């Protein structure tokens, strides 16, 4: 937890309401998201109990396994889930756009992509386990399942793994996204409770928000008291209607909270980097759809050593890029780096727009800017700098001391002998420079390793499930 976030939590505790820690929204919100609130049977890793899902807040669909220990009922539930999710996912494959690339052939990318929203990170984990338990099933041979079930498993695996990709919005968890934008006065563990977190953000903490009878857990696990006092008697009664209504009472409150969270996030203006990250998501989604249409095998159960190392390297690069994008988009996030000395902000005290370096044809325009700042500057002379005010422009730290910082603009001046209007900051202008660079911004999302749908980080591996796979988890 950063220093500013810690201070925001203390202030929230003192004032009794959550404090904003972002000025813009750092995630994409789809025009038609698919809300997915799953419940699982207690004591089972991936045994579904129920799910409430849909794209219309006034018309949710409830799918229930009236007897989760019955294997046939489980797969019938999975087939029902596929009837809802697969048409939604595949409905985004009809419209595509051609993306031109420098020094490479153009490629087709979906014009939009699905967004499956879950309540919390535990929901993402359940989706990933559910996908694993479904994707190796077969429509023929022993333990046959409907053809849509293994396809659903592949898509759920993809969405669950993509949720771990920094900056991805294909499967956002509401508690995590809210926590990126507001700091509550409770612990991080308590923030995983959607009702409690929303209570801090909207009206301040309330004992009712932590009462499982009023606001049941957002899943995937149910409250133990509900299991013992309501669910078990309902299942023992043999009445499917009684089980369905009991589970409805657990899911409907979370359904309303999910839409409330969406409305809160929609009230924030999207950050400048959100669109480019959504392009990467669309490229990744298009790649996954292409692999499925080409008859590629399911994702393997485990990554190989080389594939795992490559995946880790990509994730680390993506995390670094995401952190920089958030800082460039949001002054509150940039303030964290100003505290550590990796960035500084201040008022332009002096400029030399006509400064040049070199002689003759090698002479280049290198304007000088002097900034008055109160921030600690812990950067060495010669450090490369960037600025959120003029993205794509590069600079170099010349000197720093006595509250004055001198920088030299080294990139983005063009080939002219004089700087273009507005290219050099004017005296009195408020600017910010940082050692965080955003060279990756503005580049198209490519269907390469950065956007590959294969979560193990390499090309598709031929994989034939063995007997253990055929029997695992749901048999």
Distance (Å, rounded) from C-alpha 138 to C-alpha 148?
Answer: 10
Tell me the helix, strand and coil percentages in the chain, rounded to 5: 40, 20, 40
pLDDT value of position 448: 39
Beta pairing partners, 408: 368, 396
Distance (Å, rounded) from C-alpha 142 to C-alpha 234?
Answer: 32
pLDDT value of position 3: 85
- Structure tokens of 21? 């820690």
pLDDT value of position 21: 96
- Do 69 and 156 touch, CB atoms closer than 8 A? no
The DSSP result for 200-252, as a single string, is HHHT---GGGG-TTTS---SSSPPHHHIIIIIHHHHHHT-HHHHHHHHHHHHH
pLDDT value of position 279: 95
Distance (Å, rounded) from C-alpha 426 to C-alpha 234?
Answer: 72
Distance (Å, rounded) from C-alpha 356 to C-alpha 417?
Answer: 9
Q: What is the H or E stretch that residue 72 is in? A: helix 71-90
pLDDT value of position 469: 40
pLDDT value of position 192: 92
C-alpha separations of 425 from 144, 179, 335, 346, 409 in Å: 68, 35, 21, 12, 10
Q: Return the closest-CA partner of residue 182 out of 166, 210, 203, 201.
A: 201
| pLDDT tens by residue, the chain, 475 residues | 688 899 999 999 999 999 999 999 999 999 999 999 999 988 777 789 999 999 999 999 999 999 888 888 999 999 999 999 999 999 999 999 998 888 788 888 999 999 999 999 999 999 999 999 999 998 887 888 999 999 999 999 999 999 999 999 999 999 999 999 999 999 988 899 999 999 999 986 676 777 787 888 888 988 888 989 999 999 998 899 999 999 999 999 999 999 999 999 999 999 999 999 999 999 999 999 999 999 889 998 888 889 889 989 999 999 999 999 999 999 999 999 999 999 999 999 999 998 888 887 778 899 999 999 999 999 999 999 999 999 889 999 999 989 999 999 998 887 777 888 888 999 999 999 999 976 544 444 444 333 444 433 333 333 333 333 433 444 4
Domain boundaries defined on the chain: 3-300, 331-434
Distance (Å, rounded) from C-alpha 430 to C-alpha 74?
Answer: 61
pLDDT value of position 205: 67
Distance (Å, rounded) from C-alpha 190 to C-alpha 196?
Answer: 7
Burial of 218 (0-12, 13-18, 19+ CB in 10 A): buried
Q: Please check whether the domain covering 331-434 is classified as CATH 1.10.150.
A: no
pLDDT value of position 142: 82
- Answer left, alpha or beta for residue 119, where phi above 0 means left and psi between -120 and 50 means alpha: alpha
């Amino acid at each position: 937890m950063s220093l500013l976030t810690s201070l925001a939590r203390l202030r929230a505790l003192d004032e009794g309401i959550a404090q904003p820690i972002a000025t813009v929204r750092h995630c994409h919100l789809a025009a038609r998201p698919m809300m997915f609130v799953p419940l699982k049977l207690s004591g089972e890793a991936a045994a579904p109990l129920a799910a409430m899902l849909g794209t219309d807040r006034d018309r949710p669909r409830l799918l229930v396994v009236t007897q989760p220990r019955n294997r046939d009922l489980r797969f019938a539930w999975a087939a029902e889930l596929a009837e809802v999710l697969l048409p939604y996912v595949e409905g985004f494959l009809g419209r595509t756009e051609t993306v031109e690339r420098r020094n490479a052939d153009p490629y087709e990318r979906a014009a939009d992509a699905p967004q499956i929203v879950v309540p919390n990170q535990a929901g993402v984990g359940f989706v990933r386990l559910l996908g694993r338990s479904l994707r190796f099933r077969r429509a023929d041979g022993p333990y046959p399942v409907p053809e849509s079930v293994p396809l659903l498993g592949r898509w759920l695996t993809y969405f669950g793994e993509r949720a771990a990709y920094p900056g991805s919005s294909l499967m956002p968890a509401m508690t995590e996204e809210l926590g990126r934008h507001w700091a509550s006065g409770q612990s991080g563990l308590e923030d995983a409770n959607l009702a409690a977190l929303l209570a801090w953000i909207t009206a301040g903490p309330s004992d009712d928000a932590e009462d499982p009878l009023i606001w049941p857990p957002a899943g995937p696990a149910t409250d133990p008291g509900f299991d013992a006092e309501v669910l078990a008697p309902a299942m023992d009664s043999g009445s499917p209607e009684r089980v369905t209504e009991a589970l409805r009472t657990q899911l409907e409150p979370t359904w309303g909270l999910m839409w409330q969270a969406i409305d809160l996030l929609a009230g924030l203006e999207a950050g400048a980097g959100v669109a480019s990250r959504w392009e990467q998501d669309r490229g990744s989604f298009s790649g996954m759809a292409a692999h499925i249409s080409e008859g590629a095998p399911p994702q393997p159960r485990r990554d190989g050593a080389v594939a795992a190392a490559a995946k880790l390297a990509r994730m680390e690069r993506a995390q670094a890029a995401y952190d920089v994008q958030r800082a460039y988009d949001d002054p509150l996030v940039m303030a964290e780096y100003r505290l550590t000395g990796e960035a500084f902000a201040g008022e332009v005290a002096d400029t030399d727009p006509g400064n040049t370096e070199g002689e003759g044809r090698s002479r280049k325009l290198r304007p000088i800017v002097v900034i008055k700042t109160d921030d600690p500057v812990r950067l060495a002379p010669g450090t490369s700098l960037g600025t959120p005010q003029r993205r794509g422009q590069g600079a170099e730290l010349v000197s720093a001391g006595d509250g004055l910082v001198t920088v030299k603009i080294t990139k983005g001046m063009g080939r002219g002998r004089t700087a273009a209007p507005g290219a050099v900051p004017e005296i009195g202008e408020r600017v910010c420079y940082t050692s965080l660079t955003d060279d990756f911004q503005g580049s198209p999302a490519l269907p390469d390793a950065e956007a590959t749908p294969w979560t193990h980080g390499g090309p598709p591996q031929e994989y034939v499930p063995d007997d253990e796979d055929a029997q695992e988890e749901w048999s």
